[in-house]
Chain A
């Protein structure tokens, strides 16, 4: 498959675009990325970035895509195909030596690790801005940088304050109160809940993945509460419609629901919450020039200015030091910045997660579908 190449023309629009590009290039030079564009290959007309919809893509557009377009003149198209559904398409393209359907995949680190293990991700070790990132940017258990983690997030316990008149729930066990029967929501694959459940069930994190009996015992107890099982958009809808009182969900979704007027709060209970990362990666099989510019996009996403705007939108901590938390998240447990903030957050390597995901998934389903 060939892609359209941007051709210069002397139209008024082109002159204006050139002005914007010039201004953007000046901005990039200020950010230290100017050298990267010194010997630039031919620019593609557009780059396709897979993204999650709603506030997620809005934040990416404002923080990374639009400034990148202004700097380079390359249009960014956001493909909102689900991350799980784009994966087999990318794998098939790589298998058949075809050009992949997207240039950059914004993905969970767990999902991206599968692609990296399969060998369908380009190495990104040569990105100049990696030097200025924290350890969080490096994928754990993989050689080089087939993925660059771009921020972290917490699977918090989100709740309706009216349902907890005595204050925020202190433990995940508080959800076992009979009054919450049918009023709790979890992710339908159990993601985010396994590790705190291991602690709440009396087990140890060190035993993951060898012995997770405590986790499954607690999931069994939770099953008796008849929880709803869904995806990110379901949680927001269920909170808005008054279907649930509490959920284990990513803090971004809870924050978005609050922005939409839902009275919702969140907390990190004493057993802790799962901390994970998302990242950007590039599938193999792109033409050289498109690969170059796709890398520049990711490099640009690692600049302080891009991270600040992007992650302000998401309400998540980035991988560049010195970012300012959004005003509503200063000292919030879902926005860890200092080592002490991580004490109650549980981080398990993506490699352990991908190697055991199917087994955990089947076990969780067996309990919940039984």
Chain B
């Protein structure tokens, strides 16, 4: 006897059909490959990126003939020699690495208290305010934000107007290295807070209360309890900030006044100004190499933090 409609609803039957169809497409005996199947789109994407990287590596081994503006057929390391021999590229590389380190440090110093207050505050209004202040910049692109700083920090801008009220003559606040770092810190702060917040949320408030009940003041609690427990978040946030800063283009271009290039600006110049794609490719691979070294060093020293999805390195 067939089951009644009430006993076996249509949506169950639909699910049965779908399951049968899925079984035909991907038989149950293949189930051990299910994980790989789900990974396939991501792997495909990575493969495409790798193919691109291989092509860039290939391009970096051919030099530009300026009589024909075509690259040589022969392979050579001349582009790498040019990149390492010319002081300008080393200076720009150093500026990028130093900038990434300073910006990461400053951003973490600012992001930690921001994230901590956002997570711990009892006031829902304050939490909402902090969240809005955090997310609002995401709706404004990096370039627009940089132009905003041009208006605020310019010779005739708001800050100089305020300084003028107390008799200070207009100061050149833009087009220098500190201006670039300032813009980058402001840009990176939301990323860092978003990476830190889950780690801070995961620290039970009772742990801090226990430390206090055992006689630790807030500073000792912070140093011995909160910071160690927030380490995965700090590491994850640091990795994101250092990677994004190292490869940033817009802030040095806009706030640097043309004299504070990062390596991404130098790469752009080679690809689009001098048409020397080989040298541009060599600089690109140097950047990839330095970025990988930095991330590898952090992984080795501190683990992958929240990027390891909660598996702390022991």
Chain B, Cβ-Cβ closest to A120? B69
Please tell me if the beta carbons of B269 and A365 are within 8 angstroms of each other in the complex: yes
Interface 1/0s, chain A 328-361, versus B by CB < 8 A?
0000000000000000000000000011011001
- A370 CA to B259 CA in the complex, in Å? 9
Chain B, Cβ-Cβ closest to A244? B155
The interface residues of chain A, by DSSP majority, are classed as helix
CB distance from B163 to the nearest CB of A (A): 15
Stretch at the interface among A33-41, A82-90, A128-136, A292-300: A82-90
Please tell me if the beta carbons of A369 and B88 are within 8 angstroms of each other in the complex: yes
Please tell me if the beta carbons of B272 and A88 are within 8 angstroms of each other in the complex: yes
- A101 CA to B301 CA in the complex, in Å? 49
With contacts A368-B258, A369-B261, A370-B87 known, is A228 near B69, CB below 8 A? no
With contacts A117-B67, A189-B269, A365-B269 known, is A357 near B274, CB below 8 A? yes
- A219 CA to B259 CA in the complex, in Å? 14
CB distance from B250 to the nearest CB of A (A): 14
Interface 1/0s, chain B 258-302, versus A by CB < 8 A?
111100001001011111110100000000000000000000000
- A219 CA to B15 CA in the complex, in Å? 75
- For residue A366, CB closer than 8 A to chain B, the reply is yes
- For residue A230, CB closer than 8 A to chain B, the reply is yes
- For residue B70, CB closer than 8 A to chain A, the reply is yes
- For residue A182, CB closer than 8 A to chain B, the reply is yes
Choose from B172, B260, B272 the contact partner of A182 (Cβ within 8 Å): B172
Please tell me if the beta carbons of B67 and A355 are within 8 angstroms of each other in the complex: yes
Interface 1/0s, chain A 81-104, versus B by CB < 8 A?
010110110000000000000000
With contacts A230-B257, A241-B154, A242-B156 known, is A88 near B271, CB below 8 A? yes
CB contacts (< 8 Å) of B92 on chain A: these are 369
**Count of A-B residue pairs with CB < 8 Å:** 81
- For residue B175, CB closer than 8 A to chain A, the reply is yes
- A357 CA to B66 CA in the complex, in Å? 9
Chain A, Cβ-Cβ closest to B67? A117
Known: A229-B257, A243-B174, A358-B66. 19 other contacts (CB 8 A): A87-B272, A88-B277, A114-B69, A115-B69, A118-B68, A119-B68, A241-B156, A242-B155, A242-B156, A243-B154, A355-B66, A358-B274, A358-B276, A361-B269, A362-B86, A365-B266, A369-B92, A369-B95, A369-B261
- For residue A125, CB closer than 8 A to chain B, the reply is no
CB distance from B81 to the nearest CB of A (A): 13
Please tell me if the beta carbons of A366 and B274 are within 8 angstroms of each other in the complex: no
CB contacts (< 8 Å) of A85 on chain B: these are 272
